[in-house]
Structure 1
């Protein structure tokens, strides 16, 4: 069963409830651009996973077949309980290394780039974690945890982490001693020196207490969310490659070949001495911290939000039809989605080329609807063409109404 697919509607219901709680308490923990950026990276991550999850599943299945020391039964409840606990133990070390090693931080940093903290932040996930993340879960295969159990506890672990991304729930007493909670996970998302790189558990906080990485939220030290080198962008594609690009640039500039290689595996933030001296990175002081913001008119915000809903629907369609769609259809759907989210990111940043890119996005729907039936993304239908034409015309009219705002604010 795909737990994530069935959980998606509940995610959005809970986000709506949190927005109502914001309004009732007279606070504002959401910004439209930040929320769309977080949700965009989540949609991109989920659909990328449809194309790449074979990496982790195949390696796990291979290890289970050839390296397993035991043969555990999926019918035994203790197999599930022990697998759930052991998965979180492995997650702890993946998560900790994800903060402590450059190559792993390049993937995981996506989740920390938001300078807000709300339930949409929970859905802000990497699209490149599949590259190395599978290594940390091989011990479960060696211990004989069945593939079905592994996939299920992984989904349950991820689902648990959703609710802790909120500022509305205070400390929870004794619960804080054993489990990840909103309070101790707020610490994890902080860029304050006191809090940085703490509280790595997914479900259980006991690993942090055992291995010296626990930090309690201090009422005298308000959490400042985000990363010390700000993303300063609303583009989900750039969010996924920003730190890789920095590492690549530093590796290319390094004079020593050894530095070109080891930079990828050194502690997070390490740079070759010659590169750091010649190309220093400026990081804003925490006392001068300002959230990244780009002015947007109300019409622009409404237009982008409605267009974004289209890609949420497309992502949900791909997730729901995964088993029936061929690889070529998933690839086409992912490409259309990635391009669309890229363009909306440019619009959120009021880039000078945003209007032209948006027109190109709308025009690209013509070859998309023609290609989709050929690769099996959806069946050929006259209704699809009529719907496309109506959607495109309405979008162009709405874009024309926003055009002057885009041009004025971008200039």
Structure 2
């Protein structure tokens, strides 16, 4: 069962409730562009996962079949309870090394790039975590945890983490000693020096207390969210590539071949001495921290939200059918999603080439629909074409109107 798919409506219901709570309390924990960027990264992640999940599932299953030391029954409650705790223990080390090693941080940093902290941040996930993430859960396979149990507790662990991404829940007393709560997870998303690289658990905070990575949220140190090397973009593709590109550039600049190779696996932030001297990086001054923003008119914001709704629906559709679709069909869906979300990021950044790119995106939807119908991804019905043409016409009209709205506002 795909628990994440069934949870999507509840995710968005809770996001709406959080927005209403913002209004009731007279605070603002959301920025539209940031929320769309986080959700875009999440949609791209789930779509990418349809193509890449086989690596983790296959490796786990093979290890369980051929290397498992025990044969644990999948119908025993105690196996599920032990697996739930065991998974969180493995997650702690996966998460911790995701902060402590360059190549792992390149994948995980996507989740931390938002300078806001709300429930949409929880859905901001990487598309490249499949490269190494599967390795950390092989001990469960060796211990004999059946794949069905493993996949289920993994989904439950992920679902639990959704609710802790909020600023509206204060400290929860004795639960702070046992569970990951909104308070100690806010610490985890901070870029303040006192908070950095702390509180790695997914469900249980006890691992952090045991291994000396726990940090309490302090009243005298308000959390500043984000990463020290700011993304400064609303583009979900660049969000996934940013740190890989930085590592590649440093590897190219390094003179020693040893440094070119080891930079990928050294502690996060490590750079070859010659590169650091020639290309110094300034540490951010958090006392003068300013969130990344791009001025947009109300019309541009409405247009962006409406266009994102299409890709949210498309991503949910692919997620629902993923198990039934062949790899070439999934790849077609991924390309359509990735290009559309890239174009949406360009729109939110108000780039000079945004209008031609939007026109190209709308035009490419026509051959995309034809290919999708030919591949069996969508039914070959006249209604689909009528809906697409109506959507394209409405979008074209809005496209001409929205930029002028910004000009009128500026004037």
For 1:240-389, what aligned pairs fall within 5 Å after superposition? 240-389=240-389
282-291 vs 388-397, which moves further: 282-291
293-302 vs 280-289, which moves further: 280-289
Quote the offset at 1:324 in angstroms. Answer: 2.4
Alignment match, 2:104:
104
Alignment match, 2:206:
206
For 1:9-88, what aligned pairs fall within 5 Å after superposition? 9-88=9-88
Quote the offset at 1:381 in angstroms. Answer: 1.1
Alignment match, 2:113:
113
Q: Aligned partners of 1:107 and 1:405: how far apart in 2?
A: 38
375-384 vs 216-225, which moves further: 375-384
Structure 2 runs not aligned, ≥5 long: none
- Deviation per CA, 1:134-190: give whole Å up to 9, x if none: 000000000000000000000000000000000000000010100000000000000
SS of the equivalent of 1:344 reads helix
Whether the aligned pair in 2 keeps the contact of 1:355 and 1:406 (CA below 8 Å) is no
Structure 1 runs not aligned, ≥5 long: none
TM-score normalised by structure 2 residue count:
0.98
Q: Aligned partners of 1:408 and 1:50: how far apart in 2?
A: 44
329-338 vs 120-129, which moves further: 329-338
- Deviation per CA, 1:77-112: give whole Å up to 9, x if none: 011000000000000000000000000000000000
Q: Aligned partners of 1:266 and 1:81: how far apart in 2?
A: 35
Q: Aligned partners of 1:324 and 1:133: how far apart in 2?
A: 25
Q: Aligned partners of 2:232 and 2:251: how far apart in 1?
A: 23
Q: Aligned partners of 1:262 and 1:53: how far apart in 2?
A: 27
Quote the offset at 1:409 in angstroms. Answer: 9.2
Quote the offset at 1:66 in angstroms. Answer: 1.2
SS of the equivalent of 1:191 reads coil
Q: 1:407 and 1:337, CA in 2 relative to 1: closer, same or farther beyond 3 A?
A: farther
Alignment match, 1:2:
2
- CA RMSD for the aligned pairs? 1.3
Quote the offset at 1:406 in angstroms. Answer: 6.0
SS of the equivalent of 1:47 reads helix
Q: 1:144 and 1:156, CA in 2 relative to 1: closer, same or farther beyond 3 A?
A: same
Quote the offset at 1:408 in angstroms. Answer: 8.4
SS of the equivalent of 1:50 reads helix
Q: Aligned partners of 1:366 and 1:116: how far apart in 2?
A: 36
Whether the aligned pair in 2 keeps the contact of 1:296 and 1:409 (CA below 8 Å) is no
SS of the equivalent of 1:264 reads coil
Q: Aligned partners of 1:222 and 1:159: how far apart in 2?
A: 27
Whether the aligned pair in 2 keeps the contact of 1:326 and 1:376 (CA below 8 Å) is no
For 1:167-182, what aligned pairs fall within 5 Å after superposition? 167-182=167-182
SS of the equivalent of 1:328 reads helix
Q: 1:35 and 1:209, CA in 2 relative to 1: closer, same or farther beyond 3 A?
A: same
How many aligned residue pairs are there?
Answer: 411
Q: 1:409 and 1:254, CA in 2 relative to 1: closer, same or farther beyond 3 A?
A: farther
SS of the equivalent of 1:322 reads helix
Q: Aligned partners of 2:409 and 2:55: how far apart in 1?
A: 44
Quote the offset at 1:372 in angstroms. Answer: 0.8
Quote the offset at 1:405 in angstroms. Answer: 4.5
SS of the equivalent of 1:330 reads helix
- Deviation per CA, 1:328-355: give whole Å up to 9, x if none: 2211111101100000000000100111
